[in-house]
A and B are shown apart, each in its own frame.
Chain A
Amino acid sequence: MSRRGRYVEAFVRVIAAQLPGPSDARQEILDELRDGLLAASEAHERAGAQPATALQLAIGEFGEPAAIARGFLPELALRRARRIAATLSGSVVLVIAAWLTAARTRDITHSQPLFDSSAAHLAAALLLGLLVFAAGLTFISSGSGSRWLGTTRVPVFGAVALAVLAVLTE
């Protein structure tokens, strides 16, 4: 690896150490920053700077590693929230499938039906419904919905969705 490459890697590693969240999302961010730093350095070299100076200018342009990492925190939190919401939605599908399978088995063996109007069953159905609703809100507020929700309503929607998810999964 070239000297410039080693310096860029060191800078990227400092940022990486301050990025929490899913590893694939972090890797994408780091790949993009690495390319940006090298592109910036090359641009300064084309403008006549010596390689070492060009790299210094590029790093200076990017700003403080801590500030760069902070800029990505909302994105990484949203990706984590979407991942949790997707996992929970999958769990709901599995629970419903297991429930239906159990009900069918009981029907076949002519035992007491699994589904009735008892409070426990209604509460379970309500809980599953709320879980799906909260997961849906999470997807909307953290994805394309942010376009029509606007900058004020996105945090409100996101906070409501995450609060419901947190209560339900606790």
Chain B
Amino acid sequence: MEGAALKGHLDSILLAALEERPLHGYAVIESLRLRSRGAIDLPTGTIYPALHRLERARLVRSRWSTVSGRKRRTYELTAAGRRALAGKRGEWNEFKSALSSLIEARREEALA
């Protein structure tokens, strides 16, 4: 699944990836690959601007540390980020449920 198919859902996906623990940019990518069993494979370069945008919105915060002699930026969810994720989950479940009922209804019509 590429970037275009995920348009509009990137923020939710990133917030969900950071839900369990703080991660640096590339670890976010690895987590997405692992959790989606390889279905979600975004170009790594697109993740960083999205994480920065979430930080500007105060949904995540970042910390700098030094790992193996190089600077590393790690992101974690803020309280506002957790609330936003819960809200997006609710919206997603409603959307998914509405879409499922529409598609299933059409299938039943086709069979009738």
Contacts and interface: CB of A to CB of B under 8 A. Distances in A.
A110 B58 CA distance: 52
A88 interface: no
B80 interface: yes
Interface string B21-49: 00011110110000000000001111011
A39 to B, nearest CB: 4
Contacts of A75: 49, 52-53, 56
B contact patch SS: helix
A13 interface: no
Nearest to A28: B73
B70 A34 contact: yes
A146 B52 CA distance: 12
B84 interface: yes
Contact of A62 (B27, B44, B56): B44
B9 interface: no
B84 A147 contact: yes
Contacts of B84: 147
B56 A39 contact: no
Contacts of A40: 26, 29, 44
Nearest to B41: A61
B72 A35 contact: yes
Interface string A3-38: 000000000000000000000000011011111101
Contacts of A67: 43, 45-46
B71 A31 contact: yes
A115 interface: no
B57 interface: yes
A71 B45 contact: yes
Contacts of B71: 31-32, 34-35
B17 interface: no
Contact of B44 (A61, A72, A78, A142): A61
A147 B58 contact: yes
Interface string B87-110: 000000000000000000000000
Contact of B57 (A32, A68, A74, A144): A144
A63 B42 CA distance: 10
Contacts of A98: none
22 contacts: A29-B48, A31-B73, A32-B25, A32-B71, A32-B73, A33-B48, A35-B26, A35-B71, A36-B48, A39-B24, A40-B44, A43-B26, A43-B30, A61-B43, A62-B43, A68-B48, A75-B53, A78-B56, A144-B57, A144-B58, A146-B56, A147-B80
Given A32-B25, A39-B27, A67-B46, 9 more contacts: A40-B26, A61-B29, A61-B43, A62-B43, A68-B48, A71-B45, A144-B58, A147-B59, A147-B84
